Amino acid sequence: MPRHRISDISRLLGVSDDTIRRWISSGAVKAFQDDQHVLRVDGASLAGHLLAQQHDHVGLEDGSRSQSARNHIQGIVTAIRSDPVMSQVDLVAGNSRIVSLISTEAVEALGLEVGSIAVARVKATNVSLELPVTS
């Protein structure tokens, strides 16, 4: 069961440590103290909270998609759907959802599970950009 430091999760999601602590205090996210008495966030619980809070849009908070992503995007695995050959892995990074189709063998070799921290590496020959919607 993946467990992560509050500071790592807050940096990863672009929120303050206090926000993560409020999620823990409210019971929205589970946390445990490790052997060194460091509070660690339960990855699966965090993934469930992120899915519940996820918006229907990807990109900026106003729904536009003018951001350009870097080619390495770190996030939390929120879902894995596997068949014998291929798997769909959903990753949440900030308010963005990234979906990767990889072999089930790769999922197993990486030890990916809901709540794991993973890095999406994007390699594309075509990148589209669009301007925000103006009113």
* Within a domain: 134: no
Residues 43 and 77 occupy one common structural domain: no
Q: List, in sequence order, the alpha helices (H) in the chain.
A: 6-13, 17-26, 43-53, 104-110
Q: Percent of the chain scored above 70 by pLDDT?
A: 80
* Within a domain: 10: yes
pLDDT at 129 over 70: no
Residue ranges with strand state E in 72-112: 72-82, 86-93, 96-103
Range of the domain at 11: 3-53
CA 125 to chain centroid, in Å, comes to: 24
Per-residue pLDDT of 9-22, as tens digits, reads 888 888 889 999 99
pLDDT of residue 122: 80
pLDDT of residue 12: 84
Give the global pTM.
Answer: 0.57
* Within a domain: 131: no
Angle ∠(73,97,106) on CA atoms, nearest 5: 65
Residues 19 and 48 occupy one common structural domain: yes
Per-residue pLDDT of 95-123, as tens digits, reads 888 899 999 999 999 999 999 999 888 87
